[in-house]
Structure 1
Amino acid sequence: MSELDRYLQAATRDNTRRSYRAAIEHFEVTWGGFLPATGDSVARYLVAHAGVLSINTLKLRLSALAQWHNSQGFADPTKAPVVRKVFKGIRALHPAQEKQAEPLQLQHLEQVIAGLEQEAQTAIIENNRPALLRARRDSALILLGFWRGFRSDELCNLQIEHVQAIAGTGITLFLPRSKGDRENLGKTYQTPALQRLCPVQAYIAWITEAALVRGPVFRGIDRWGHLSEEGLHANSVIPLLRQALERSGIAAEHYTSHSLRRGFASWAHQSGWDLKSLMSYVGWKDIKSAMRYIETSPFLGMTRLVEKPLEP
């Protein structure tokens, strides 16, 4: 790979590249389209999958086709008037309510963390190191994900070298890149230690038990208790969260990794945070992004966890 290609590749995120490759393969191989494409062929492709693929998926397919043509020096067929009109018609005839993850309510956060702590204590008694490691890891991941409003990719990209945790005080985390950081400038996040459900305490307990000093914070654990050198993949966070919830007696089919982010946003909203403070704390740059995550119904059994509010 040339230096030019290396920098061009770095400009596009790995997940985006994978999605674009799959989209191009679907157009060219599965559907039988030809590249470079014409506006008419792209319009026919949209018609063939209207009502079958979601609006968001169709938008991604158009973005992939546009990127391929632009990178190869061809005219972008997705900008053709016929494509725009067909897509507008699809949105009118196949409206779909956006599916949102169930927010993780505070009472369920307490329940799952209590369940994981019980698993940890049982593992200590039975000398079951793999189970102990999983309980400590999952507690840290869930609590950090909730109180920092992190996405799954942000949790999986955390590196020990970029985390400073002081027991009883707080934790500072630096992310060199994330989905919301389009300029790859990196961002530092902070959260204080809490009286209960403390992410700082959970992080320290996990790192100490796993004897980790560098590399990914959250990793896979095999049946013998060996830790992977690689970080968890973002797609593994959903099953990890659902399994932990189910073991604690919580029906988890409607929960995803976004449930942590939505849960925190809803908790903060119900706790009286103004929208500007919430957006600054989580990292949202526009109001629409924030409002999609806020659950308007009140949580049950909400209690004050800290002596003073979390500072954005």
Structure 2
Amino acid sequence: MSDLDRYLNAATRDNTRRSYRAAIEHFEVSWGGFLPATSDSVARYLVAHAGVLAVNTLKLRLSALAQWHTSQGFPDPTKAPVVRKVLKGIRAVHPAREKQAEPLQLQQLEQVVAFLEQEAQQANESQDTARLLRATRDRALILLGFWRGFRSDELCRLQVEHVQVTPGAGISLYVPRSKSDRDNLGKTYHTPALLRLCPVQAYGDWLSTAALVRGPVFRGIDRWGNVGEKGLHPNSVIPLLRQALERAGIAAEHYTSHSLRRGFATWAHRNGWDMKSLMSYVGWNDMKSAMRYVEATPFLGMTLANQPLI
């Protein structure tokens, strides 16, 4: 691979690259389309899948087709008026309410953390290393994910070297890149120590229990209690969270990794955080993105300064 190809490849995220490949394969193989495509064939492709695929999925397919044509030096057929008009018509005829993860409310957070603390204590007494490690890791991941409003990819990218802890005061976490960081500039997040449900204490307990000094913060643990060298994959966060909730007696079917982010946003909104402060803390760039995560509740009109975390 040439240096040019390497940098071009690095400019597109792995998940996007896989999605685009799957979209092109669906157009060519599954549907029988021909590349380079015409605007008419793209419009017919949309019509064939209207009401079957979600509008957002169709938009992703169009983005993949646009990227393929542009990269190959062909005119982009997805920009044709007929394609845009067909997509608009599909959106009007097949409106769909976007599915959202159930927010993890503070009551459920307290319940699962209390259970994990009890589980860790019992595992320690019975010298069950694997169970102790999982309970300690899951507690740290859930509390950090909630109080920082992190996505699963941000949690999985955390490195021990990029986290600084001031016991009893707070924690700073540097994330080199994330979904919202399109330019890969990296960002440092800060979270204070709390009187209860403290992410700082949970993080310290996990590092101490797992004896981690460098590398990924959150890792897999095998049945014998061996901690893996690689970080968790973002896709593993949902089953990890659901398993922890189910062990704590919480029906977990409607919870995903976004439940932590939505849970914090809902908690902050109900406790009077103004939207500007909430957007700044979580890292949203526009109001529309923020409002998707906030449960509809009466707004109390208080500012961040009136409602501290500690």
**Partner AA of 1:309 in structure 2:** P
CA distance in 2, matches of 1:108, 1:172: 25
CA distance in 2, matches of 1:126, 1:247: 18
Any unmatched runs of 5+ in structure 2?
Answer: 299-305
CA distance in 2, matches of 1:229, 1:21: 29
Equivalent in the alignment of 1:139? 139
Equivalent in the alignment of 2:121? 121
Equivalent in the alignment of 2:224? 224
**Partner AA of 2:198 in structure 1:** C
Equivalent in the alignment of 2:309? 310
Cα-to-partner distance string for 1:114-137 (whole Å, 9 max, x where unaligned): 111111011111111011110011
Q: Per the alignment, in what secondary structure is the counterpart of residue 100 of structure 2?
A: coil
CA distance in 2, matches of 1:83, 1:130: 54
Matched, 1:161 2:161: yes
* More off after superposition, 79-88 vs 103-112: 79-88
Matched, 1:25 2:25: yes
Equivalent in the alignment of 1:246? 246
* Counterparts of residues 10-159 of structure 1 (less than 5 Å): 10-159=10-159
Q: TM-score, normalised by structure 1?
A: 0.95
Q: Per the alignment, in what secondary structure is the counterpart of residue 56 of structure 2?
A: helix
Q: Per the alignment, in what secondary structure is the counterpart of residue 194 of structure 1?
A: coil
Q: Per the alignment, in what secondary structure is the counterpart of residue 172 of structure 1?
A: strand
Contact 2:143 2:197 in 1 (8 A): yes
Equivalent in the alignment of 2:302? none
The offset of 1:28, in angstroms, is 1.2
CA distance in 1, matches of 2:121, 2:297: 35
CA distance in 1, matches of 2:122, 2:22: 44
* Counterparts of residues 138-287 of structure 1 (less than 5 Å): 138-287=138-287
Q: TM-score, normalised by structure 2?
A: 0.95
**Partner AA of 1:253 in structure 2:** E
Cα-to-partner distance string for 1:71-95 (whole Å, 9 max, x where unaligned): 1111111111111111111101100
CA distance in 2, matches of 1:167, 1:25: 52
CA distance in 2, matches of 1:308, 1:270: 10
CA distance in 2, matches of 1:109, 1:297: 19
The offset of 1:297, in angstroms, is 3.8
The offset of 1:310, in angstroms, is 3.3
Cα-to-partner distance string for 1:146-182 (whole Å, 9 max, x where unaligned): 0000001100111111001122111000011111111
CA distance in 2, matches of 1:238, 1:182: 24
Contact 2:162 2:175 in 1 (8 A): yes
CA distance in 2, matches of 1:214, 1:23: 38
Any unmatched runs of 5+ in structure 1?
Answer: 299-306
CA distance in 2, matches of 1:268, 1:256: 19
Equivalent in the alignment of 2:301? none
The offset of 1:30, in angstroms, is 1.4
Report the number of matched residues.
303
CA distance in 2, matches of 1:201, 1:308: 21
Q: Which runs of 4+ in 1 moved over 4 A?
A: none
Contact 2:111 2:248 in 1 (8 A): yes
The offset of 1:308, in angstroms, is 6.6
CA distance in 2, matches of 1:24, 1:91: 22
Q: Per the alignment, in what secondary structure is the counterpart of residue 265 of structure 2?
A: helix
Q: Per the alignment, in what secondary structure is the counterpart of residue 34 of structure 2?
A: coil
CA distance in 2, matches of 1:129, 1:211: 13
Q: Per the alignment, in what secondary structure is the counterpart of residue 285 of structure 2?
A: coil
In structure 2, the CA distance between the partners of 1:308 and 1:87, relative to structure 1 (3 Å rule), is: closer
Cα-to-partner distance string for 1:94-117 (whole Å, 9 max, x where unaligned): 000011111100000000001111
The offset of 1:296, in angstroms, is 2.1
**Partner AA of 1:69 in structure 2:** H
CA distance in 2, matches of 1:175, 1:187: 5
CA distance in 2, matches of 1:27, 1:207: 47
The offset of 1:46, in angstroms, is 0.8
